[in-house]
Amino acid sequence: MKKSILLLAIIPFFGCAELQQVANQLPGILEQGNVDIAGGLKEALNNGISKQVTKLTATDGFFKNEAVKILLPEELKKVDSGLRKIGMSKLADDGLRAINRTAEDAVKEATPIFVNAVTGMSFTDAKNILMGNDSAATTYLQGSTSTALYGKFNPVIKNSFAKVGADKIWTQIITKYNSIPLVKKVNPDLTDYVTNQAMNGVFKMIAIEEKEIRTNINARTSNLLKNVFAMQDKK
């Protein structure tokens, strides 16, 4: 029961197909007594998917979300400033938008990895997370998925740089900046940087939703969610 309970905390970030995959992989624990755990998972999904993962994968899902918007790494802030000083603000803006576009593309690859993490969770993990702090589920996912997420995100982001035109924009940006007299030339690894920032954004949004469900009774939009997290409230 507790393993099923914990699924409710993090399942809102999955799509319908992936939710069914979880259900298929957890026979025997999806219904306990009169509590329809499978139905609860679907309901939690329907409430959460439009608020979290869909937002991040949509156009401007990162770029117009101040909580996760990817800003330039420290070494490129001087590039941004340098371009604006010579009247190339639009190019600088295009470069920032482009790296956020690649993150939006990559996040679509996260769901299967989270499904694996959920189905691999032990009963001890579930108990500790349910009774843990406001970000316990997020911390668990971060620890159990970061390596796999990086491996999945990195090639997607590398390909996305070409797909969204970010490679051409940033080649132009770096070339223009490096041609400015007396500046120290740069050659950043943007793929690695954006990969890590995209992962940070995903976990940040999961943490926001987890805390909301844990601390705001009104966010528990069904009797099932209310019953599940009432156990946590009494700890």
pLDDT tens per residue, range 214-225: 788 888 777 777
Percent of the chain exceeding pLDDT 70 equals 68
pLDDT score at 69:
94
- Look up residue 25 and give its amino acid: Q
pLDDT of residue 61: 92
Q: State mean pLDDT over 64-76.
A: 88
| Span of 10-19, 59-68, 152-161, 201-210 with lowest mean pLDDT | 10-19
Distance separating alpha carbons of residues 81 and 77, to the nearest angstrom: 6
Residue 210, exposed/middle/buried by CB under 10 A (0-12, 13-18, 19+)? buried
CB 142 within 8 A of CB 133: no
Structure confidence at residue 37 (pLDDT): 36
CB 219 within 8 A of CB 213: yes
Q: How confident is the model at residue 28 (pLDDT cuts 50, 70, 90)?
A: very low
CA distance 170 to 193: 14
Is it the case that residue 146 has pLDDT exceeding 80? yes
Is residue 14 pLDDT above 80, yes or no? no
The predicted pLDDT at position 163 comes to 82
Location of structure tokens 């805390």: 211
Q: Three-class SS string for 181-225?
A: CCCCCCCCCHHHHHHHHHHHHHHHHHHHHHHHHHHCHHHCCCHHH
Question: pLDDT at residue 29 above 80?
Answer: no
